[in-house]
Amino acid sequence: MMGDEKPVEAAGAGLSVHGEAAPLALIEASGDLRDPVIAGWSEGAERLFGYTAEEVLGRSLRDTLSGRGGREDFRRLAEDVSGASHRCESARKDGSEVVVAWAQHPLRDGSGRPARAIYVGRYVGRDVEQGTSARAPAEAEPGVAQQLLRAILDHLPIVVCKYDREGVFTFHDGKGTEAAGVEPGQLLGANILELYGSDMEASWGMRRALAGEAARDVSDVQGASWETWYLPMRDARGEPDGAISITLNASEARQKEIELRAKLQLIEKQQKVIRDLSTPIIEVWDKVLTLPMVGVVDSLRLSEVMDNLLSAIVSKDARYAILDLTGVDAVDTQTARHIIEMIDAIRLLGAEGIVTGIRSNVAQTMITLGVDLSGVTTVGNLRAGLKLCMRRMAATGEAGGAPVK
């Protein structure tokens, strides 16, 4: 069950998000892979070791998790890229220790060299401080692993599959098969690569796993969203020997993500409407536009206003544009510079910009900041600015001009 993510980045990127629901402790490692640092931390890892992602990201994997007798185990684990399992004494945040079966799956760059790695950890032993043997649970209850797997497959929305070297299903089970439109075991004996046919993009995750590299994929099948982890299997010599896939029905999480994005888009639209309402462009007279500014004027707001005003000047063939600052509480150097740039842009369009209503405190601020308004026409208020425009149009005989007392 695969989708449209690209191989190299998708295999390891975003583990802290996409590994949340994986039934194992998944850790993404980067840097010097002989002593890697933690770059991704799943919810399973947080539950097992007690650390949050914020506490461990960027820290040495070996220093963070190796127990009293586990540093050498972690060194051997870091050097083994075959995917073989290593039991390591691993430290928890509270100081206790557990035995975890780790396997390292390298992620290679475009040149084929290991660039990152995914560490997959499975709890196999109880607290070492309690003196309990790491193998005690399995020895005391030989069928416990099968019981746990059965419970997971029967009650969680996942699909677990195992494939031989050719990609033929040898195991196919899980409650998630219902949403996928198939029955447990229905695909046994089928070849997954043949099911995908010539769709190379859809089958890249499985192909990478069969080649010995871990991968992760997101896809939409039967109206549901799925996240799949592909893990390679290896024989005693460390050679690729089939693969395992763990697929999670992530429809609910995906739907919440879609709803959140929709809400954010709605908020952005509402903010734009508010900004537009707070800076309306009004045609107060033939060929005369006014832009009343209210509140605190920042650079972002002025940038949007400039675009809208220049477009209005062109569309209405305006001769004058009045920037009314009566409602402006404060300006800074950047804002004052934007106002002057706006006046210059208006002139380039063949119109004239006039600034009205500068408050005394704003005027003092501009003087203190050294803002040069000598080339800008300013008048006391909007009424005076409109009269000035009408006089000038009357003096030149332009339409819209009229004698004004």
- Mean pLDDT over 364-388 rounds to 87
Taking phi over 0 as left and psi of -120 to 50 as alpha, with beta for the rest, 357 belongs to left
Higher pLDDT, 191 or 335: 191
Higher pLDDT: 257 or 132? It is 257
Residue environment code for 247-264, b if the CB has 16+ CB neighbours within 10 A, otherwise e = bbbbeebbeeeeeeeeee
Based on the domain organization, do 212 and 258 belong to the same domain? yes
* Residues of the domain holding 268: 156-277
Q: What is the mean pLDDT of residues 342-350?
A: 91
Query: How many domains in the chain?
Result: 3
Q: Is the pLDDT of residue 180 over 50?
A: yes
**240-249 and 86-91 beta bridge pairing:** unpaired
pLDDT in tens, 379-397: 999 999 999 999 998 888 7
Q: Residue 398 above 80 pLDDT?
A: no
- Does residue 247 belong to any structural domain of this protein? yes
CATH assignment of the domain containing 225: 3.30.450.20
Provide the pLDDT for residue 273: 61
Q: If you search the block for the tokens 């920037």, which residue do you land on?
A: 323
In a domain, 29, yes or no: yes
Tell whether pTM > 0.75. Answer: no
Choosing from 277, 296, 327, the residue where a domain stops is: 277
* Mean pLDDT of the chain, nearest integer: 79
**Does the pLDDT of residue 326 top 80, yes or no?**
yes
CA dist 41 and 16 (Å) reads 5
| 261 shares a domain with 328 | no
Which pLDDT tens digit goes with each residue over 86-116?
A: 888 888 888 888 888 888 888 877 676 777 8
Q: Given a cut of 70, is residue 126 above it in pLDDT?
A: no
Q: Is the model's pLDDT at 17 over the cut of 70?
A: no
What is the rounded distance in angstroms from the CA atom of residue 340 to the CA atom of residue 90?
64
224-234 and 37-41 as β-strands: parallel, antiparallel, unpaired? unpaired
Indicate whether 174 and 219 sit together in one domain. Answer: yes
Crossing angle of helices 299-316 and 251-278, in 10° steps, is 70
209/166 same-domain check: yes
pLDDT attached to residue 322: 94
- Closest by CA to 114, choosing from 147, 80, 68, is 80
The pLDDT, as a whole number, for residue 23 is 52
pLDDT at 22 over 50: no
Q: Are strands 169-173 and 158-163 parallel, antiparallel or unpaired?
A: antiparallel
Claim to verify: residue 315 and residue 352 sit in the same structural domain: yes
The percentage of residues in the chain with a pLDDT greater than 90, rounded to a whole number, is 17
Confidence band of 346 (pLDDT split at 50, 70, 90)? very high
pLDDT range class, residue 289, cuts 50, 70, 90: very high
In this predicted model, which residue has the larger pLDDT, 17 or 261? Answer: 261
* CATH number (domain holding residue 327): 3.30.750.24
* 11 falls within a domain: no
One-letter identity of residue 91: A
Least confident of 226-240, 328-342, 344-358: 328-342
Amino acid sitting at position 278: S
